[in-house]
Structure 1
Amino acid sequence: MKKILIAFDGLSYTKDSAAFAIRTAVASDSLLVGVFLYDLRYARLLHTYRWDVPLQHYYYDVSKIERADEKVVHESIKAFRKQCDEAGVHYKVHLDRGVPLLELLNESAFADLIIIDTKTSLFDLSDHKMSTFLKDLLVEARCPILIVPPRSTDIRHVFVAYDGSESSVLALKMFSYLFPEWNELSTTVLFANRTASNHLPRNSEVKDLAARHFRKVQYKVLNGEVDKVLIDFLKKHKEKSVVVMGSYGRSALSRMFHSSLSNKVIEEVKVPVFITHQ
């Protein structure tokens, strides 16, 4: 049994993400912890309302808003409990009040996996497809993350994005360790190569390793501009698939070179993406 966190914005519960996490926890006989993040810093209201409320009417009752938010959060928790009870999954509920990122990072140190919706923003009003909260979580989390689109189906195929780096090998191993029930699925190790070569980096080593982690594994080399060929391929094969990546290193240099591709896959392909750290 493992410990899986499913993180929610307490004011924006996503039933489909909860259902995906519940199915995952049931399949692995894991403990599922619903983490409801509730930001008490009402300074966000300055950003939410200042553009569409006339200055002379720019007053609000914080306690009234807080009570309304509390009601929404508790309704979200009630909905989560109902889904878990109906599925018969082992579960707990944590309501984290305070700075959402710090609260979730603290929880991640004592978990095997975080599952989180791509739309989780915690009041990030930027125009980016991925919120700052989510990007920071992907860098700083103390455990692997499975980031899922709002509507996620059962997994039937695994794509491992391999680039010859230690982080991509670690991601392959961690995914296999955490999801032994998915090791039986059809699996493709993908390598995107700017040259015309059809050889994988460390070819024999990675094939020896992958064959012992996945029962039905094949290998595919994509030739061309790395970002484009990989994303185009995944878009065509994303149905009921999960992508495994190890692109988030701890150093600033590693993040600069590798996080961009991971972000593009998450934003453009709209498929569950498993990311781990080195």
Structure 2
Amino acid sequence: MHRIILHANRDDGFDVRVEAAMAIARVFNAHITCLHSRQNMTVTGDVYAAGMFTAVLPPSIEEDIRKEEQAFRDHCSRMIESEDVSWDWKVRLGLPERAFARESVLGDLVILSPAGEDIGDQSGETFLGRTLVAAGCPVLVAPRAEVRFATEGRVLLLWNGSPEAGRALKGAMPFLRRAAAVRILGIGEARSDRPGPEDAARYLSRADIRAETREVANGDAEDIVQDEAAAFEADLIAMGAYGRSRFSELILGGVTQSMISQTRHAILFAH
């Protein structure tokens, strides 16, 4: 792992994201890019409202925004410069998920926070869902503040044999290689046209990673994941994101949609 893209946005989860990024960067000797996304300074509005509420900013408000942005950057600098970690600060204009899509082309991990209730900012489900789909590398959703991210913890890999699950497995390899224990959890009825949990365990064994397998055929998927993660004492859950379309999950419900707002565990998503 060489480059971590950290979501640099002033919200309640930022300090937790920084701590997780620094812990990972120290272990893997990785560089952190603090990616701050904002609209053009000359206009303001809700970027998720199709431009319906845009307006020209007065110079005084523009100056206040610049001061707030500099204060936030200084806060970020104080947190990271106290550690022996390589980092830089980057600003991108426009939709934030497009900024992450661009930067993640040459990134190994994006770090975000769980989705909040406000859909119109950089902490809501709209932002997080779009970023999961757009990112060109795995996305780590950091846990709540009282749960420290463990780089050598126990990893629960959710498995259904889909391409997304395969990408999650491969994206989680740096953590799987260092894990204290790995469990592959198959949920639902196995499909004969897809590799099963034992196949995934065999794949990992070729990288000298020992993984146990478990399958649960019946029950609510979200409840199964939470119960199994608690029983396994998982520090990290790795899973594929949006195995069906994101729109379908929004309308019909799905494991990804339910998991992006949970705060009990760190989750690594791959689409």
Q: TM-score, normalised by structure 1?
A: 0.77
Q: Percent identity?
A: 17
Structure 1 residue corresponding to 2:161, chosen from 157, 160, 164? 164
User: Could you list the per-position Cα deviations for residues 210-260 of structure 1 after superposition, in whole angstroms to 9, with x for gaps in the alignment?
Assistant: 3334644221222422414423414634866111112335x74x8736982
Write the distance in 1 (CA, Å) between the matches of 2:16 and 2:24.
12
Cα deviation for residue 153 of structure 1 reads: 0.8
Structure 2 residue corresponding to 1:43, chosen from 39, 42, 45? 45
Contact 1:183 1:214 in 2 (8 A): no
Contact 1:247 1:262 in 2 (8 A): yes
Inter-CA distance 44–208: structure 2 relative to 1 (3 Å threshold): closer
Query: What SS is found at the alignment partner of 2:161?
Result: coil
Query: What SS is found at the alignment partner of 2:141?
Result: strand
Query: What SS is found at the alignment partner of 1:32?
Result: strand
Give ranges in structure 2 of 5+ residues lacking alignment. 50-54
Write the distance in 2 (CA, Å) between the matches of 1:114 and 1:63.
34
Inter-CA distance 69–13: structure 2 relative to 1 (3 Å threshold): farther
Query: What SS is found at the alignment partner of 1:267?
Result: coil
1:75 counterpart residue number: 71
What letter matches 2:269 in structure 1? I
Write the distance in 2 (CA, Å) between the matches of 1:101 and 1:210.
32
Which runs of structure 2 are paired with 1:37-186 in the superposition (5 Å)?
A: 37-40=37-40, 41-44=43-46, 62-119=58-115, 124-125=119-120, 130-151=124-145, 152-155=147-150, 156-176=153-173, 178-179=174-175, 182-186=177-181
1:245 counterpart residue number: 239
Q: How many residues align?
A: 254
Write the distance in 2 (CA, Å) between the matches of 1:134 and 1:34.
17
2:5 counterpart residue number: 5
Give ranges in structure 1 of 5+ residues lacking alignment. 48-58
User: Could you list the per-position Cα deviations for residues 81-114 of structure 1 after superposition, in whole angstroms to 9, with x for gaps in the alignment?
Assistant: 2222111101111122333222222112221211
Inter-CA distance 9–68: structure 2 relative to 1 (3 Å threshold): same
Structure 2 residue corresponding to 1:256, chosen from 236, 248, 261? 248
What letter matches 1:171 in structure 2? A
Contact 2:222 2:258 in 1 (8 A): no
1:17 counterpart residue number: 17
Cα deviation for residue 136 of structure 1 reads: 0.7
CA RMSD of superposed structures (Å): 3.4
Write the distance in 2 (CA, Å) between the matches of 1:237 and 1:90.
37
Which runs of structure 2 are paired with 1:195-234 in the superposition (5 Å)?
A: 202=196, 204-213=198-207, 215-234=209-228
Counting helix residues as a fraction of each chain, which structure ranks higher? 1
Q: TM-score, normalised by structure 2?
A: 0.79
Q: Which runs of 4+ in 1 moved over 4 A?
A: 10-13, 237-240
What letter matches 2:106 in structure 1? F
Contact 2:143 2:263 in 1 (8 A): no
Inter-CA distance 237–62: structure 2 relative to 1 (3 Å threshold): farther
Structure 1 residue corresponding to 2:266, chosen from 262, 272, 275? 272
Query: What SS is found at the alignment partner of 1:124?
Result: coil
Write the distance in 2 (CA, Å) between the matches of 1:255 and 1:12.
27
Work out which of the two has the higher radius of gyration on C-alpha atoms and give 1 or 2: 1
Contact 2:115 2:260 in 1 (8 A): no
